[in-house]
Structures are given as C-alpha cells and as structure tokens.
Amino acid sequence: MSAQVSDQQLGAAVLESVQHNSFPQSEHVASAELSPATLPKLLDIVGKAREEKKSQIRQISREAASDVDGWIAQARKLQSDIQRSQETAQEIVKQAESGKEQTAQLQDAASKVSFLHSEIAYNQSLVNVVEQLKDISTLLESAQDAAVNSHIMHALERLEDANTAFKRLGPFQNARATSLLRTKSSELRSAIAETVIEAWSALVVVDTTNRSIMLKEEVVTGAPIHIDTVVDALTKLGIFDKFLTRLSRDMDNVIITPRLTVNTEQLVSALTIEGDLVQINGYVSDMSVKATLEDLQAISEYISTRLPPTIATPLSEKLVPTIATRLINNWLLPAVPLSTTEVPDFQEILSLVLGIVEYFDELGWSGQNRLSDWVDKSADIWLARQKEVAIARVQRLFPRRVQDKKTVERVETQTITKGDALHTEKQSEPEKAGEGQTEHDDDWGADWGEEEPAKEEAKQPAEDLEEEDMSAWGMEEEEPQEEKKPEPSAPAEEDVEDWGADWDDDGSKPAPAEPASKSTADEHSNGKATTSKTTSTEEKITLRETYTVTAIPDSIIDLILQVITDVETLNSTALVTSAITPASGGLYAIPGFLLAMYRATAATHYSRDIAANMLIYNDCTRLSDRLRTLLHTQIQTDSTSSLPSHLLPSVRLKASIEDDIKAIEGFGKRAYGREMESQRTIIRDHLDAAQGFAGCTNMPFASECDNAVMMTIDRISDVKNQWKPVLSTSVLLQSLGSLASTALAKFIADIEDMSDIAEDESRKLHGYCNSLSTLSTLFQTEDPVTGEVQDMAHMYVPNWLKFMYLSEILDSSLADIKYFWTDGELKLEMEPEEVVDLIKALFAESEHRRKAIAEIRRTSLR
C-alpha cells in the first residue's frame, strides 16, 4: 500500500462503500493495499461509525416517541376491525351454505312434482293409445267380417281407417302391440287383394291357347261381385294400372295383332264375337280395308258394352294407339294408291277411317289422334309414296333396260339462204335433179355441222380436237401450240351446250328458241341429208345420223309422261274433290328425282359394257333431245288444257327440265371426256415406252420403239372397233381424230426434241411415220352418191398435215425442205424455228444449211 494513504482515508472509503455503495474517487485509495495490520484500525473506524449511528437513532427515537405511540394505537385498532370483519364474513358464508341446501331441497321437490306430472301424462297417453289400439282392433275385426261376407269395399274402407289410426299413434307406432295389429292388417289386406284378383280373373278370362277373351259383368264367389266393385277395389289397392296394362297387352296379342297382321302366307286371322266371348278362329275371306275397319268397330263395341267406362276409357288410351299403328302399317299404307285408277277406292277408305275415328269419339275413347292425323296427311303420304315407288321402279328398271340397245336416228332441219357459205358450197357441187341431195351429203351426216374444208390450197386441217376436248374439262395437252384453224365441233366442248342441235356450218350457235324439228327414234337409218326449196333465197337442209342407245332414256321419258298424265287425271272432274288431289302438283318433283337418280347410278349400271362412257354420252344426248321435244310438245298441248295455270306441265316443268337438260348434257360430256382422257393416257403411255425415240436404231431400244408405234396403232384401231357399234359416224371420227392427234402430237414433239438425227435414224423415223400414216384408213368414208372412198384424216386429225410434212422432211433433201417452205404450204403447219431445228438436227453444218435457214427465217417475216 502506498505510504501516502492513511488509515483514516481507508476507513472513510470503507464507510462510503457501506453507506452509499460508492467507489473511492481517489486513485491512490482505490489502488491501496490492505494489510492485516490495517484491519483492526478499520474495524475500529467502522465500530465508531456504528456507535455514532446508534446514538443518532436513539436520539431520533426519543424525539419521535409520541408519534410512534399514536401509530401503534392506530395499528391495534385496525387489527381489531379486521378481526370483526373476518367474523362477519364467516357468518355470511354460513348463511350462504344454509341457502344452498334449501335451494337443493326446493329443486328436488320441483323435479319430483314434474316427474309425477309426466307420469300422470304418460299414463293418460297410454290410456289413449290403448283405447286407439282397441279401436284399431275393432276396425280390423270389422274389415275381416266384411271381407268374409264379400263386402270388399267396406273391408277396404275399414283398412284405410285403421291405417289412418296407425299414423296417429305417434311414438307408439313401433310398439309390439302395434306391430301385431299391423301384421294382422297386412295379412287381411293381402287376403282381400287375393280375393279381388281372383274375382278379376273370373271376370276377365284370357285363353292364349284357344286365342279367346271372355269379359263378364259379375261373378259369384259366395256373394255376387260386380266388375265395378272389382275395379274400385283394385284402384284402392293401387294395382289397377298393372291389371289394365296386362289386359291391354292380352287384348293386343290375342285379338288385335292376329286380326291386323298379314302372315307369311298372306293370310289374316278371322274374328268372331259370340256373347261375352271374342275369339280368333280361322282366316278371313275378305282382305279389304273396309272389312278390317268393320272388325275393329266390332271389337270396340264389344269392349265398350262389356266393360264399364272406368275400364274402357283408360283401356282405350293404351289400346287405340296400338290399333292405329298396326292399322296404318299393315293396311292403310299398303292401300295408298299407286295409280290414279285406285284413287276412288282410297277415298272411300279415308271416309271409313274417319268413320271409326268418329265412333271412338262417341265412345269417349282417346288415342285416335294418330288416325285422324294420318287422314289429314294422306295427300302428303300419297305423294311421298309416289316418289318412293318411282325411285324403286327406276332402281329395278335401270339394270334391265341398260342391256336393251337400239339404233336411233337424230333428224334436224336447218334453213339456209343462198348467201350463206354453206349454200354456196353445196350449189357448187353436183346435185341430182329434182332430189336436192348434195354430192357430199355424207360429210354432213358425219360432221353434224362442221365446216366443210376448202378444196383449194391443199385442204387446210382443222384445229387440234384433242386440245379442244381437254379445254372443256379444264385440262390441256402438253404439246406445241399450233396455228388455230377452222375446226369441227367436238362433243366434249362444254361451252356448246346443245352440241349437235345447232348444226351451223361455221360453228356459230343460232338462238335456240324451239327445235325446228323433233328427234325421232328409227331403227336402221340411211344417214342421208336432203334439201328442199322453200323460197327463191332459202333452202331447208335435213340432217340425219344414227347412234346406239340403251332403253333407259325412253324409259325415263315414259315415267315423266306418266307423271304428267297422273296430274291431269287427278285434276279431272271425277277426282278433283279427292283428298290427294291437292298434292298432285308435288308429282312434278319426280322427274328431277329420276334424272338425279340416273346421274347418280349410271356409272354402276353401264360398267359391264366395254364402251360404258360412250353409251352414257349417247344416252344423255338422247335423253336431252327427248326432254326438249317433250317440253316443246307440252307447251303446245297446254295451250288447250283445262288445268289451272299453276298445274300446267309446261309451267311447272320448264325451269326444272331446262336445268336437268344442262345437267344431263354436262354429265354425258364428262363421261365422254373421262373416256377420251383415259384413252389418251394409254396412248401416251405406249409412246413413252420409246423414250423419245432416241437410239431407235440401237438394240434393244429399237425393238422398244417398234413396239411403241405398233401398240399405239393397234390401240387406236381397237378403240374404233369398240366404239363403232355405239357412236354415230361423226362422233366416232371426231373421237378417233382426237386420239390420233394425241399420238401424232406426242410423236412430233419427241422428234422435234432430238437435237441430232443421224441418217439411219432419219430413215427409221420415216418408217415410223409411214406406219403411223396407216391410221388414215380409220377415217375413210364412202360417198353415198358416187361410191368413191374418201380419205378424211386431214379433216378429223388437226395435226395430220403437219405430221405428213414431218415425214417428208425426214426423207427429203435440204432443197426439198426449202421448197416446201417457200413454194409449198409448210409454213401453214409449222413455225419457222421448228423447221430450223429439224434442219439443224438432220443436216451437218454447211454453207447450204446456213443459206437455207436464213431463207426460211427471211421469208417467215413477210
């Protein structure tokens, strides 16, 4: 410890720490060390401080003694007050405990009183329940006595009263005594129900074996029971509907169905009614609808007279709809007339049906609405039946009539003036005096309005028929474009709607107001054209041609004529008041159905014929011609008709037949186009086997080229043999010309695509040209006047002259080719660059070749 810190300082620091919990402020005092020697001094200091404090306390105590005595007196007073409060609280607690006991005693007494009241109420309710059970037992005994005495309704009423009493038992419904009474009630109800069912079975006796039903009004089982009582009892038992449904089913199965159903042997069971018995026995001899309706009226009378309205009326709700269904399906629908001769009989049937409907109404029956609705709709039903029969007839007719083929003649007359080119050409030809036949009338019969080629300038060929055919169907040939020239009309040309009907020499179409003459069917036509003078400036040219058709077009026309006849008959004086006459105008829809049916099924019916599409084309031509003739004739006939204007065939059929004619012609042209495209595809495939005729002198490609050419020629010849018995001469030649044009166009294109043609290849290709030129024999015709055979290939094959020039070019010198171009007509068939390319392929480079090419190009610019 530092010598500067005295004992007094240390003692003061300790006192400060004890008294005030303060730490010494002096660093020397705080860091001073306490040795054992300093402790007694410190204790002395602390002791002195203690004594001083005690002295202070005593002094203060003496000074405050009076105040302290007052405080002590107050404390003692407070203590006594607290003690008195505690005693009061204990007294209160004792009194409270005493109240709880009294309250518990009071509550116990109240609960006992309540229990006694509930016991009294229970005993009272028990007395009431016992009395109710006694009443229920009395009701059940009464019901049992009534049942024993056959008082069924009284017994059921007592059972209903007992059931009502059971519901008033409340919580005692499940008591044992109640269950016993319920069991007795159920047994009694079952016994009564059994008695009622036995009574029903005795009143309504159904014998399915003997196919009979007996209905009684009363049955005696101990006591008489009337059927009304049984019905009421069944209703109260809730099983009347079940037995009514069973009666309806038995009546239908045993009586109604056998009488209204025709069996497989076309026999109908007979109905007999004797007293209370109705029975099916034997077969009816009268199969008329009238006899059937009479039997139905007898059945309804039998039911209404032997059954009370409480049964008959609800039974009719179940039975009459069944009767109506079977009557309509088995008798009325088959009675719908198929011909106008049966209309009066059908009108009588409708009157009879309305009669039985009225009879049902008189009986107060229901369910006959379907019969009355059927009569109201009889006209629509008849019309629908006519449409169904017409379509079914067509379905049966087409497969048979497609096999019947015949040759028909198409005749049409055109009037021309002396100023026409046609007249000029004909007048320039030799004619037989007084006969008016031209020298080349076979051209007319073969061409049907084609422009006769000019005799001068090497007979210019017609336009490519193949290209024209395909343009009609939206298809084009992939071949070089050729110069367009006058052409014969092709049957596949879509924009010429009345092909073969216009017959203009220049291809123009006159206004198709009305046919100048009618098409006539005639076997074995001579195919000639005749003329007759009408004025000094006009002549009439009659054009004739034959072709093969099936019997289908004439059959369709016969059906359409039958429709027109039926409309006229139905609106005649004798039938105008019939129920189905208002629907006669709907018959005009049948022709459209027939023609649509023909278009939809033609492909199937004609499929067995080798020239199916061509037959379809011919039949469509024939059908459209006859439809036009029919419409024209009908317009004239209707001018004197007594029919109302809205029923005139010419008015009702004009728009539809005109649309049908367009559809039929389009259908026939599409069939023609399909057949032509099919044959063209085959021909192209044959020529494709030659692979462009490149290497035609090298084996084995040489044999492939030979076969391609021969197969093409044979195919076109085979097609002629197939089509010749079917098509007219003009259509046959035009069609063959189109096929030949396809073959030649393919051959020409292949040759022109060859960039180098050797001399041996040129000779081989020229040989192919000679082979293909034999196709001209297919177009040889005989002049009916002179008997001279004429080669018409240049007329029917548009690119025939071009092909012949190609053949000459393959076998000619450069000078000859140049001559063909400058002095001949090669420039009319080929483009300059085509000839130039052929020259480059055939001849080697030389001064002569350059001069020839230059000359050709120079002269082409003129």
Cβ-count burial of 793 within 10 angstroms (0-12 exposed, 13-18 middle, 19+ buried)? Answer: buried
Those residues whose C-beta lies under 8 Å from the C-beta of residue 234, and which sit 6 or more positions away, are 196, 200, 240, 243
Q: Reply yes or no on whether the pLDDT at 823 is more than 50.
A: yes
Q: Which two tokens stand for residue 510?
A: 């006159």
- The model's confidence at residue 298, banded by pLDDT at 50, 70 and 90, is very high
Q: Reply yes or no on whether the pLDDT at 617 is more than 90.
A: yes
What pLDDT is attached to residue 798? Answer: 92
Which comes out higher in pLDDT, residue 354 or 492?
354
Specify which of 102-106, 193-197, 832-836 reaches the highest per-range mean pLDDT: 832-836
Q: How many whole angstroms separate alpha carbon 771 and alpha carbon 765?
A: 10
For residue 810, give Cα distances in angstroms to 121, 461, 624, 760, 841.
139, 21, 48, 11, 10
Those residues whose C-beta lies under 8 Å from the C-beta of residue 189, and which sit 6 or more positions away, are 159, 237
Q: Reply yes or no on whether the pLDDT at 484 is more than 50.
A: no
What pLDDT is attached to residue 663? Answer: 93
State percent of the chain over pLDDT 70. Answer: 78
What CATH number has the domain spanning 682-860? 1.10.357.150
Under a CB-based contact definition with an 8 Å cutoff, are residues 771 and 713 in contact? yes
Model confidence pLDDT, tens digit, residues 683-731? 999 999 888 888 788 888 888 899 999 999 999 999 999 999 999 888 8
Under a CB-based contact definition with an 8 Å cutoff, are residues 383 and 405 in contact? no
Q: Which amino acid is at 201?
A: S
Buried b / exposed e over 427-438, threshold 16 CB at 10 Å, is: eeeebeeeebbb
Q: How many whole angstroms separate alpha carbon 600 and alpha carbon 426?
A: 45
Model confidence pLDDT, tens digit, residues 235-267? 888 888 898 999 999 999 999 999 999 888 888
What pLDDT is attached to residue 134? Answer: 67
3-state class (DSSP) for residue 409? strand
Of 735, 749, 736, whose CA–CA distance to 687 is shortest? 749
Q: Which two tokens stand for residue 848?
A: 């002569």
Specify which of 101-115, 444-458, 480-494, 552-566 reaches the highest per-range mean pLDDT: 552-566
Alpha helices in 642-799 (DSSP H): 649-688, 701-723, 729-752, 759-772, 793-796
Q: Which two tokens stand for residue 254?
A: 């045993």
> Which residue matches tokens 């019905």?
231
Q: Which two tokens stand for residue 353?
A: 């049906």
Tell me the average pLDDT across 345-371. 90
Q: Which two tokens stand for residue 601?
A: 């099924």
What values do phi and psi take at 140, rounded to 5? -65, -40
Q: Which two tokens stand for residue 288?
A: 């008329």
> Which residue matches tokens 């009622």?
196
Q: Which stretch of 179-183, 547-551, 668-672 has the lowest confidence by average pLDDT? A: 179-183
What size, in residues, is the chain?
Answer: 862
Q: Which two tokens stand for residue 230?
A: 């049984």
Which comes out higher in pLDDT, residue 503 or 335?
335
Average pLDDT, the chain: 78
Q: How many whole angstroms separate alpha carbon 758 and alpha carbon 741?
A: 26
Of 244, 215, 227, 202, whose CA–CA distance to 152 is shortest? 227
Q: Reply yes or no on whether the pLDDT at 496 is more than 70.
A: no
What pLDDT is attached to residue 414? Answer: 67
Q: Which stretch of 254-268, 538-552, 599-613, 838-852 has the lowest confidence by average pLDDT? A: 538-552
3-state class (DSSP) for residue 450? coil
What pLDDT is attached to residue 491? Answer: 46
What pLDDT is attached to residue 428? Answer: 32
- In angstroms and rounded to an integer, the radius of gyration of the C-alpha atoms of the chain is 62
Q: How many whole angstroms separate alpha carbon 744 and alpha carbon 269?
A: 78
Those residues whose C-beta lies under 8 Å from the C-beta of residue 613, and which sit 6 or more positions away, are 606, 671, 672, 674, 675
Q: Which amino acid is at 530?
A: T
What pLDDT is attached to residue 146? Answer: 65
Q: How many whole angstroms separate alpha carbon 491 and alpha carbon 240?
A: 79
Model confidence pLDDT, tens digit, residues 195-237? 778 888 888 888 888 899 998 888 776 667 788 888 888 888 8
Model confidence pLDDT, tens digit, residues 368-419? 888 999 999 999 999 999 899 888 888 888 888 888 888 988 876 766 665 4
Q: Reply yes or no on whether the pLDDT at 748 is more than 90.
A: yes
Tell me the average pLDDT across 15-30. 73
Q: Is the preceding peptide bond at 700 cis, omega within 30 degrees of 0?
A: yes
Tell me the average pLDDT across 167-183. 67
Those residues whose C-beta lies under 8 Å from the C-beta of residue 161, and which sit 6 or more positions away, are 139
What pLDDT is attached to residue 177? Answer: 67
Q: Reply yes or no on whether the pLDDT at 509 is more than 60.
A: no
Those residues whose C-beta lies under 8 Å from the C-beta of residue 30, and which sit 6 or more positions away, are 13, 23, 24
Model confidence pLDDT, tens digit, residues 106-133? 888 888 888 888 877 777 766 666 766 6
Which comes out higher in pLDDT, residue 655 or 614?
614
Q: Which two tokens stand for residue 96?
A: 């409270």
Q: Reply yes or no on whether the pLDDT at 531 is more than 60.
A: no
Q: How many whole angstroms separate alpha carbon 806 and alpha carbon 835?
A: 9
What pLDDT is attached to residue 351? Answer: 92
DSSP state at residue 455 = S
- The model's confidence at residue 93, banded by pLDDT at 50, 70 and 90, is confident
Q: Reply yes or no on whether the pLDDT at 773 is more than 70.
A: yes
Percentage helix, strand, coil, to 5, in the chain? 65, 10, 25
Specify which of 112-116, 201-205, 801-805, 857-861 reaches the highest per-range mean pLDDT: 801-805
Specify which of 187-191, 262-266, 448-452 reaches the highest per-range mean pLDDT: 262-266
The continuous run of DSSP H or E covering 362 comes out as helix 343-363
